[in-house]
Amino acid sequence: VLSREDRSAFAKASHTVVARKGDVIAEEGEPFSSVSSVVTGVVKLTKSMSDGRQQIVGLAFPADLVGRPFAERSGYRVEAATDVALCSFPRRQFESQLRSHPDVEHFLLQAKLDEIDSARDWMVLLGRKSAHERVATFLTLLATRASKDATGSSTPPERVSFQLPLSRAEIGDYLGMTLETVSRQLSKLRDEGIIAMPNSSTVHVPNLANLAALTGD
Amino acid sequence: VLSREDRSAFAKASHTVVARKGDVIAEEGEPFSSVSSVVTGVVKLTKSMSDGRQQIVGLAFPADLVGRPFAERSGYRVEAATDVALCSFPRRQFESQLRSHPDVEHFLLQAKLDEIDSARDWMVLLGRKSAHERVATFLTLLATRASKDATGSSTPPERVSFQLPLSRAEIGDYLGMTLETVSRQLSKLRDEGIIAMPNSSTVHVPNLANLAALTGD
DNA sequence: CGAGTGCTTGAGGGAAGTCAAGATTGGTGG
DNA sequence: CCACCAATCTTGACTTCCCTCAAGCACTCG
């Protein structure tokens, strides 16, 4: 959607950064200095309460943007959930480029509007869904993404397989529940025949529609 | 933050709309045609699940924007929570004005970035806070807003009073709990001396810091 | 003044959290 | 290459917080 000139101006300012699983890219409440696009891997955005309770408030997959332009401090911790590669821009430079390339700013606005929509979907999950529905929704999200990545098709196939990019504890922090409840609900979906789990981090979905039917929405 | 020319161009395109409490301004999943700024009153944004469970995914107070530019359909129901006055722009016109006034688009981007931050704060509330903390957080939000409106001061006074713009059921839908639990927690805060409620919709907070200490973050 | 609506309070039940073992697994060094 | 160790995951038993169901109460408005 961007013009050639826009792309090249941005490409000049960027550099590639790699981070290992668990590396913290920006700390909650600390100043941070870059805006990055995820190239490979998954990045998690986490907020903590004073007593240590955590909530993952967003995941960034390849092509997603992380970082908060026009703010001095990060409102959340940014951490590599898997090994990741990032295409990173110095924040100041990114901001000034935005001002001189309105098309790019428009593109960013679109991306952020979509991000608000997903955040609102997640609020419904956190506020109103049962544990079973939450896990089904999370798996549907990953399965849909995996089938898109694999086939490029808009009509996803019935069968999909994918890797869970998060531990049980992290899934709990994303879905607003404990790691034990996550584990129990995964076992339940397995016993119901909705999914198969050859090992604890890979999931087969024989029929995506059956899984999606359990999300509640 | 906007130039005089920007302001006047937008003023020409706008018109004032009033809505009574309960009026639906846009329906979830339906096309909608305007982008509006709230002038007085409170607007609620609601998402529903297929079985009728509801979640309020946002509230818009005076000066906030409602409507989703660059999308054909609303992702949520927009409804007047109180009697409301809106400054409304036809969506198409609003969008084209944005393209020709990059400063305004920048302003909108800033607003949406802030909106993402609030949505993420709310995800922590919905995913991790107890009923007591949720109600304390909600009251702190309203109390802080009321004290800003009243004094314009950045150091809020200890004492504040305000009206609840939502019914118990709506507060429940906003906080991800039932109306009974909302009522019980309000009674508990009253018994603890944190708030007083001369009637069911007005709240006195004798010491805002004591209330804010119960929010958990 | 009565009816209706919204709010409060109580009693009981159920979904998820907590605490506590075991079972797997993946990584490391002998 | 295998064995062990640490970390992660699973499962079970018990507890707790919130939801559900059910009255009773208090406004507001015909």
Measured CA angle at A197 (ends A194, A201), to 5 deg: 125
Judge whether residue A13 has pLDDT over 80: no
Q: Is the predicted pLDDT of residue A177 greater than 60, yes or no?
A: yes
Please give the pLDDT value at position A63: 94
- Averaged pLDDT score across all residues of chain A: 92
CA of A168 to C1' of D8 (A): 8
B112 touches chain A (CB under 8 A): yes
Give percent of chain A above pLDDT 90: 76
Encode pLDDT of A180-194 as tens digits. Answer: 999 999 999 999 999
Is 70 exceeded by the pLDDT of residue A2?
no
Answer yes or no: do B217 and A45 touch at CB < 8 A: no
For residue range A43-95, list pLDDT tens digits in order: 999 999 999 999 999 999 999 999 998 988 999 999 999 999 999 999 888 88
| B126 closest CB neighbour out of A106, A127, A217 | A127
pTM of the predicted structure, to 2 decimals: 0.94
Q: Is A175 on the interface with B (CB under 8 A)?
A: yes
> Which two three-digit tokens encode residue B42?
């409170």
Give the pLDDT of residue A79: 96
Query: In this complex, do A119 and B116 lie within 8 Å of one another by their Cβ atoms?
Result: yes
- Nucleotides in D strand less than 7 A from protein CB: 8-13, 17-22, 27-28
Asked if A127 is an interface residue toward chain B (Cβ–Cβ < 8 A), one would say yes
CB contact (8 A) between residue A123 and residue B57: yes
Q: How far is B214 from chain A (nearest CA, A)?
A: 11
Q: Is the CB of B119 inside 8 Å of chain A's CB atoms? A: yes
pLDDT in the model for residue B5: 65
DSSP B22: T
Please tell me the predicted confidence (pLDDT) of residue B2: 62
Query: pLDDT value at position A173?
Result: 98
Q: So what's the pLDDT on residue B153?
A: 64
Cβ neighbours of A57 in B, within 8 Å: 120, 123-124
Q: What is the pLDDT along chain B (217 residues), one digit of tens a residue?
A: 566 666 666 666 788 999 999 999 999 999 888 899 999 999 999 999 999 999 999 999 999 999 999 998 999 999 999 999 999 999 898 888 888 888 889 999 999 999 999 999 999 999 999 999 999 999 999 999 999 887 766 666 789 999 999 999 999 999 999 999 999 999 999 999 999 999 999 999 999 999 999 999 8
Listing DSSP states for B62-111 in one string gives TT-EES-TT-SB-SSEEEESSSEEEEEEEHHHHHHHHHH-HHHHHHHHHH
DSSP 3-state of B179:
helix
B212 by DSSP, 3-state: which?
helix
Taking only the tens place, the pLDDT of each residue in A16-54 is: 999 999 999 999 999 888 899 999 999 999 999 999 999
Three-class secondary structure assignment of chain A: CCCHHHHHHHHHHCEEEEECCCCEEECCCCECCEEEEEEECCEEEEEECCCCCEEEEEEECCCCEECCCCCCECCCEEEECCCEEEEEEEHHHHHHHHHHCHHHHHHHHHHHHHHHHHHHHHHHHHHHCCHHHHHHHHHHHHHHHHHHHHHCCCCCCCCEEEECCCCHHHHHHHHCCCHHHHHHHHHHHHHCCCCEEEECCEEEECCHHHHHCCCCC
Whole-number pLDDT of residue A48: 97
Place of tokens 């200490």: B213
CA distance B52 to chain A (A): 10
Q: Which of B1, B55, B78, B175 to mutate to test the interface with A (most CBs of A within 10 A)?
A: B55
- Do B128 and A75 make contact, defined as CB atoms within 8 angstroms? no
Confidence of residue A153 (pLDDT cuts 50, 70, 90): low
Smallest CA-to-CA distance from A121 within B91, B102, B55 is with: B55
Which of A101-105, A146-150, B129-133: highest mean pLDDT?
Answer: B129-133
- Candidates B123, B125, B178, B215: best to mutate against A (most CBs of A within 10 A) is B123
Facing A75 at nearest CB: one of B57, B117, B128: B117
